[in-house]
Structure 1
Amino acid sequence: MSVDFHIPEDGIALITINRPEKRNALDAEHYQALSAAWERVRDDSSIRAAIITGAGDKAFSSGADLKSYFSRKTDLNEFWQTQKGMLLNRGLEIWKPIVAAVNGYCLAGGMTLLLATDIRVAASHATFSLAEVKRGIIAGNGGTQRVMAQLPHAIAMEMLLTGDSIDAATAQRWGLINRVVDADKLLETAMEYARRIVKNAPLAVQAAKELALRGPELGLAGGLRFEQMVNKILVASDDAKEGTLAFQEKRPPVFKGS
């Protein structure tokens, strides 16, 4: 039982929730390990993109291990420790792109994790749901917030209020995921997305992600101004010079993130 972290290719991190016997549900220890993995992605400059998936062929993640949480005694003071054990879907700021490879059940906290990723590939047998209302709770860690921003209102409300599942084809139709592939092609497809990303200038990629995600908070005028400021910074970077020179010399650029 673990959250596995390794770097299969330069610039790409692969995070695997490895608890298949529990449908990759996350108890407190696994959440702590996942938090550490996200922090490493954020802080390691050699990592330019990450893939998140689940072990086995049954589940991406079924979310929090409710049995372990309901039996766990906690100090109320933890409620105000808002930066403790930060997660991607809880608000940890990672501007490097995250690709999700959904290999089965994507439920509850697994779904809220998915909603915090950038590009999503699913096996054809994957299913998706925010089923917390069936257990007397709500979709936390951004579940009630991101689903409304990412899906049409009526579809998002149906998922939140009924807790019912949708299949991979339906998820793709509504724009929740990018591609549906056969299970044996899932990880390779996710890797191909990551490879395409890491070929690009890492500073520009991170800037593009941050601008896109902060845009709704800034409004159009603020977003446009933020774009101008960021571009002025990037134009002076070594990567921008390399990109221009590589174009002139008709060769692939070699970006260093500087």
Structure 2
Amino acid sequence: MTLRTTTDKATGVALLTLDRPDRLNAIDLPMAEQLALFWRELRFDDTVRAVVVTGAGERAFCTGLDRDAASAVPQPDSPYAVEDPLLRIGPKSNDCWKPLIAAVNGMACGGAFYLLGESEFLVADPSATFFDPHTTYGMVSAFESILTAQRMPYGEAARMALLGTAERMSARRAHEVGLVSEVTEPGGAVAAALRCAEIVAGYPPAAVEGTVRACWAAREATRAHALAYAPHLISLGNLPADRQTELFAGRRPDGFQVR
């Protein structure tokens, strides 16, 4: 299994761990399916009232869609449709309104924002960094940019998307711009997120889920309208797959600065 879940029945909190540290917790197709199934089943599990999501190991929270998985997904020959296996990896996409808190350790980039964008708030280790590599490799950042633009000021979301791998946003800067609600002591992100989740899980579930739904509704119409453009933008703007592969092969891992 590439997804690990532990539940504390006494507190009603589940800890969901993306467990592919050897691949920087990149999401392959089995993990994407497991995540969607987890949220669908959670709707019927009254013993879990709040969830914390994190990544295994110290290097990364999640680095988005695994490149091997990306090449294995056939795409429709149409500018009006995109087959994206990450569209159902979050709770809201599966009609689950139990609160989700993200504990971010190490790198969080690209498709990680599908999960972060459906989290109620983020808690980060000081080592956490955020970036979006799409433009560097000839891909349109559509779904990711739409989600980040709803979490922080437009200029910061645009800067992250446009600079690609050249720059990473530090945990400190992410806190300054509102992407992250708390930066913990080193190694303390999961514990801090669990403490918050335990408090929330102790409140009446219907009130909590209704509040989550209300907060989501405040931006849902704008998000849905923007997402409707995403398939067209990706179809028109992405380089051919073989050219993307060439750019990935030539990447320089140390060619970035942390802001």
Where in structure 1 are there 5+ consecutive unaligned residues? 220-258
The AA in structure 2 aligned to 1:151 is M
SS at match of 2:64: coil
Residue of structure 2 in register with 1:68 after alignment: 69
Residue of structure 2 in register with 1:124 after alignment: 126
Cα contact 1:102–1:120 (8 A) shared by 2: yes
Q: CA deviation at 1:170?
A: 0.2
Find out whether 1:59 has 2:60 as its counterpart.
yes
Residue of structure 1 in register with 2:201 after alignment: 198
Residue of structure 1 in register with 2:226 after alignment: none
Find out whether 1:213 has 2:197 as its counterpart.
no
Q: Following superposition of structure 1 onto structure 2, how do residues 1-258 of structure 1 map, counting pairs within 5 Å?
A: 2-10=2-10, 11-70=12-71, 72=72, 74=74, 76=76, 86-88=88-90, 91-139=93-141, 142-163=143-164, 164-217=167-220
Query: Residues 90 and 81 (structure 1 numbering): CA distance in 2 closer, same or farther, change over 3 Å?
Result: farther
Cα contact 2:86–2:111 (8 A) shared by 1: no
The Cα offsets for residues 55-78 of structure 1, whole Å up to 9 and x where unpaired, read as 0111100010113322x153739x
Cα contact 1:41–1:50 (8 A) shared by 2: no
Q: CA deviation at 1:94?
A: 2.0
Residue of structure 2 in register with 1:243 after alignment: none
Query: Residues 173 and 204 (structure 1 numbering): CA distance in 2 closer, same or farther, change over 3 Å?
Result: same
The Cα offsets for residues 57-111 of structure 1, whole Å up to 9 and x where unpaired, read as 11100010113322x153739x688999822178332211101011111011113
Residue of structure 1 in register with 2:248 after alignment: none
Q: CA deviation at 1:26?
A: 0.9
Cα contact 1:172–1:180 (8 A) shared by 2: yes
Structure of greater Rg = 1
Q: CA deviation at 1:182?
A: 2.4
**What TM-score results when the alignment is normalised by the length of structure 2?**
0.76
**What TM-score results when the alignment is normalised by the length of structure 1?**
0.76
Higher relative contact order (CA 8 A, sep 6+): 2
The AA in structure 2 aligned to 1:133 is T
Residue of structure 2 in register with 1:223 after alignment: none
Once structures 1 and 2 are overlaid, which stretch shifts more, 85-94 or 107-116?
Answer: 85-94
Larger fraction in helix: 1
Query: Residues 109 and 134 (structure 1 numbering): CA distance in 2 closer, same or farther, change over 3 Å?
Result: same
Identity among equivalent positions (%) equals: 26
SS at match of 1:165: strand
Cα contact 1:3–1:33 (8 A) shared by 2: yes
- CA distance in 2: counterparts of 1:208 and 1:190, whole angstroms: 19
The AA in structure 2 aligned to 1:74 is P
Cα contact 1:13–1:41 (8 A) shared by 2: no
Query: Residues 176 and 74 (structure 1 numbering): CA distance in 2 closer, same or farther, change over 3 Å?
Result: same
RMSD: 2.5
Query: Residues 124 and 193 (structure 1 numbering): CA distance in 2 closer, same or farther, change over 3 Å?
Result: same
- CA distance in 1: counterparts of 2:47 and 2:92, whole angstroms: 24
- CA distance in 1: counterparts of 2:92 and 2:214, whole angstroms: 19
Cα contact 1:41–1:47 (8 A) shared by 2: yes
Structure 1 consecutive aligned stretches of length 4 or more whose deviation exceeds 3 Å: 79-85, 216-219
Query: Residues 217 and 121 (structure 1 numbering): CA distance in 2 closer, same or farther, change over 3 Å?
Result: closer
Cα contact 2:28–2:66 (8 A) shared by 1: yes
The AA in structure 1 aligned to 2:193 is A
